[in-house]
Amino acid sequence: MTLQQLKYVIEVARSRSINKAAQSLFISQPSLSNALKELEEEIGITIFLRTNKGIVITQEGSEFLGYARQVVEQAELLENRYTKTRSLQQNFSVSGQHYAFAVSAFVRLLKEYDREEYEFTLRETRTYEIIDDVKNLRSEIGILYMNDFNKHVISKFLREGNLKFHELFEAKPHIFISSSNPLAKQDYVTLDDLDPYPYLSYEQGEYNSFYFSEEILSTLTRPKNIKVSDRATLFNLLIGLNGYTISTGVISHKLNSKDIIAVPLKVDERIHVGYITHKNVTTSKLGNIYIQYLKESIDEELR
């Protein structure tokens, strides 16, 4: 087993394609395939399953990747510490639901990160894809919520992916609306108050089960529904159509317009927001810093 083989495995897992990984590594596809086959034969496990849709990481492969990443990271630290011939590019990736505090923490991490080269990724994406990203090590950290309704299903997927949920805070439900919305002056709103207004929610693609919804109370029937895929569009529609969405009430006015406000929603529900990590992977230095910034951003925005 060589360090180069470990780097090959990590790149294939990141690309989810042997062909794309070979291009990134500047080697031929047959050479990469042979290197992977030799490694799998040497260690006696199958790391990747080859399918018509691309590469699938096996459960044993996922565990192996966790150790491989640690070895490669330690080797890079040694090289950087003792050779000092170049500045190593650092990689860090987060996948999450559409939370402003996650972006705030990411912005702070980048502002205070003093390197000439880096490749950071922040994916605001669907619930299932967050779990899948962390499970398959495309992201080190995933950010999502659980409540009484979805926790059994989400927890099942986390167990199967060997993932752990770490709670950040508990929130009472709020609606996000335009500051010009007629409901903006109320101390709180009820579900009946919301009936005349368009309801906006994030589409979940193939995995559009109620349990994967980014919004609580997903099983309720509403007369006016709009699905969106990104936060900017959702906020524009909140303002343009006097729509509403349901969330935690935590909103960053440093990053978002003050035209969007949060109003408490009078329902007997609680939202538990947290981050997920892979049990087989030690959190990196960047990961720990980001988690700390997450907590500080939440504290600032809850004041």
User: Which residues are CB-neighbours of 37 under 8 A, at least 6 positions away?
Assistant: none
pLDDT at 85 over 70: no
Alpha-carbon gap, residue 192 to 194, rounded angstroms? 5
Neighbours of 184 (CB within 10 A): 13
pLDDT tens for 111-150 read 887 667 778 999 999 999 999 999 988 899 999 999 999 9
Distance CA 245, CA 300 (A): 22
**In whole angstroms, what is the distance from residue 214 CA to residue 127 CA?**
7
* Stretch 94-108: mean pLDDT: 93
Least confident interval from 23-27, 51-55, 202-206: 51-55
CA-wise closest residue to 193 among 264, 289, 286: 264
Q: How far apart are CA 44 and CA 292, in angstroms?
A: 39
**pLDDT confidence bin for 63, thresholds 50/70/90:** confident
* Residue 167 exposed, middle or buried by CB count within 10 Å (0-12, 13-18, 19+): exposed
CB-side neighbour CA atoms (13 Å) of 233 = 9
Sole residue written with tokens 């500051």: 179
Strand ranges (E), the chain: 48-51, 54-57, 90-96, 118-124, 141-146, 163-171, 174-178, 199-202, 225-228, 245-247, 260-264, 271-278
Task: Please give the single-letter amino acid code of residue 199.
Answer: Y
How far, in Å, CA of 73 to CA of 91, rounded? 10
Instruction: Specify the pLDDT at position 117.
Output: 74
DSSP 27-95: S-HHHHHHHHHHHHHHHTS--EEEETTEEEE-HHHHHHHHHHHHHHHHHHHHHHHHT-SSPPPEEEEEE
Q: Which residues neighbour 249 within 8 Å (Cβ) at sequence distance 6 or greater?
A: 171, 172, 173, 174, 262, 264
Q: What is the pTM of this model?
A: 0.71
Q: What is the mean pLDDT of residues 264-291?
A: 93
